[in-house]
Structure 1
Amino acid sequence: MRIVSLNTWGGKLHAPLMEYLASVDADVLCLQEIVRSSGSSADWLLYRAGDVELPQRAHLFDEICTLLPGYDGFFCPTACGELFDGERVVLSQFGLATFVRRSFPVIGQALGFVHGAFSHRGWGAHPRARNAHCIRLFDQKAGAAVTIAHMHGLRELNGKADSPARHAQAEALVSLIEEVWPGNERLIVCGDFNVLPDSATFRSLGRLGLSDLVVSHGHSDTRTSHYSKDGRFADYMLVTEDVDVIRFDVVKQPEISDHRPLLLDLR
């Protein structure tokens, strides 16, 4: 089985992103920063916040569904806010997406907010609402189930240090996982956590027997050349000890976002 986790940056690097998603041959794609818009036929919309402007691929979720016809796609929005087509406002949804190859039956799942609640009238004040999606699949080749969860961790304006909100987020993620994971099978948890490697988040997840692959495999950077700030840890993938890791990589090339994909092959 191959699992890929990636913050897509709203599809800003659209052409290489789509090429990678088509060629990587993942069985499960855990994607963050996915856009879905129904009020415009434009391919591109613009996110504006103060002096920040960021192109967003207007129909990214639908485009990936078309790209991967042999997959079940799950869209998990956190908010519905304003993007811009020129000066025209287009209400758009933003959140997570999970894509599962149809040869892996989904036999359980839970979706819930780990910080805040769904915002239907704008993106909301920082730190904005965040959710997580947890799925349980049956792996026919292994003859056993596996549980996979991913999250886009909250962003606080003062950085990635631990905070009461991040501690509560970690505990909420653990509770969501426990709704699906029976405790006696393989578990993988991944995503853009927006925390540092010494975060208490990992102690919370450690209670489930999870350990991180990014730091333990010697990686010190999960961002690409498109990210110019300090603090280059953001993305993580954690596994329980019964996960037979064949390969794990923080993929440097191609650059398809300001985040690097995390790629796990397991038996």
Structure 2
Amino acid sequence: MRIVSLNAWGGQLHESLMRYLVDVESDILCLQEVTRTHDARSEWLVYRDHGVELPQRANLFAEIGAALPTHDAFFSPTARGDLFDGDRRIASEFGLATFVRKSHPVIGQVSGFVHREFSADGWGPHPRARNAHCIRLYNYESGFAVTIAQMHGLRDIEGKGDTPARRHQADALVELIRQVRHGDERLVVCGDFNVLPGSVTFDALSGLGLSDLITSRGHSDTRTSYYRKEPRFADYMLVTSAVEVMAFDAVAEPEVSDHRALLLDLR
């Protein structure tokens, strides 16, 4: 079974991103920063915030779904706010997307907020709302159930250090996982956590028997050349001891975002 986690960066590197998502042949694809817009006339829109402008694919969720017809698609928005087509404001949703190969039935799931609540009338104040999506699926080929959770952690302009909000976020993630996971079955947790190694986030997750594959396997960079700041930790993938890791990588090439894809093969 192959799991890929990636912050899709709103599809800014669209052509290379789409090619990679097809070619990687993941069974479960966990994506952060995905857009969905119901009435866009253009393929590209612009996000504007305090003088910053970022191009965004208008409907990245639908595009990936069309490119992966063998997968079931799940979208978990954090907010609906304005993107721009020239001067025209267009309401667009932003959040998590999970794609699961149809040969692996989803037998349980929950989506919930780990920071703030859903904002229907704008992106909301900083640090903006964040959520997590947890699924439980069955692997017919190997004969086991596995729970997989992804989270996009809150972004704080003060940095990636621990705060009370990040402690709450970690506890909320653990609670969501416990709603879906059965007993001590296999568990994988991944995403763009926006924290540093040694964060209280990992203390909370260790209570579920999880250990981090990024730091434990010597990876010191989860960003690409499109990200030019320090520190370069943001993305993580954790597993329990019941997960047999066949291969794991923070993929340096191809570059499909300002984050590296995290790729796990397990059995």
What TM-score bracket applies, with the shorter chain setting the length?
over 0.9
Aligned to 2:41: 41
- 2:194 aligns with 194
Give the letter aligned to residue 190 of structure 1: C
Distance 1:77 1:70 in 2: 23
Q: What does residue 203 of structure 1 align with?
A: 203
Paired AA for residue 75 in structure 2: F
Partner of 2:83: 83
Instruction: Report the equivalent of 1:59.
Output: 59
Aligned to 1:68: 68
Runs of at least 5 residues in structure 1 that lack an aligned partner in the other structure = none
Amino acid in structure 1 at the alignment position of 2:110 = A
Q: How many residue pairs were aligned?
A: 267
Distance 1:184 1:8 in 2: 31
Instruction: Give the corresponding residue for 2:228.
Output: 228
Structure-1 separation of matches of 2:151 and 2:164: 18
Tell me what 2:105 maps to: 105
CA positional deviation for 1:40 = 1.3
**Mapped partners of 1:40, 1:66: distance in 2:** 17
Name the CA distance, whole Å, in 1 between partners of 2:184 and 2:163. 31
Partner of 1:248 in structure 2?
248
Correspondence 1:140-159 to 2 at 5 A:
140-159=140-159
Three-state SS of the structure 1 residue aligned to 2:149 is strand
| Residue equivalent to 1:4 | 4
- Cα deviation for residue 184 of structure 1 reads 1.9
Give the ranges of 4+ consecutive aligned residues of structure 1 lying more than 3 Å apart after TM superposition. none
Post-superposition offset of 1:52? 0.8
Structure 2-normalised TM-score?
Answer: 0.99
Quote the offset at 1:39 in angstroms: 2.2
- Aligned to 1:20, what secondary structure does the other structure show? helix
For 2:51 and 2:41, how far apart are their aligned partners in 1?
26
Aligned twin of 2:121: 121
Distance in structure 2 (CA, Å) of the matches to 1:170 and 1:131: 11
- TM-score normalised per structure 1: 0.99
Rounded to whole Å, the distance in 2 between the matches of 1:41 and 1:104 is 35
Q: Counterpart of 1:127 in structure 2: which amino acid?
A: P
Structure 2 counterpart of 1:87, one-letter code: D
For the residue of structure 1 that corresponds to 2:65, the secondary structure is helix
Secondary structure at the counterpart of residue 64 of structure 2: helix
CA shift, 1:180, in A, is: 0.3
Aligned-pair identity in percent equals 65
Partner Cα separation in structure 1 for residue 35 and residue 111 of structure 2? 18
Give the match's secondary structure for 2:154: coil
Deviations 1:143-189 (A, max 9, x none): 01000000000001100000000000000000000000012210000
Shift of 1:41: 2.0
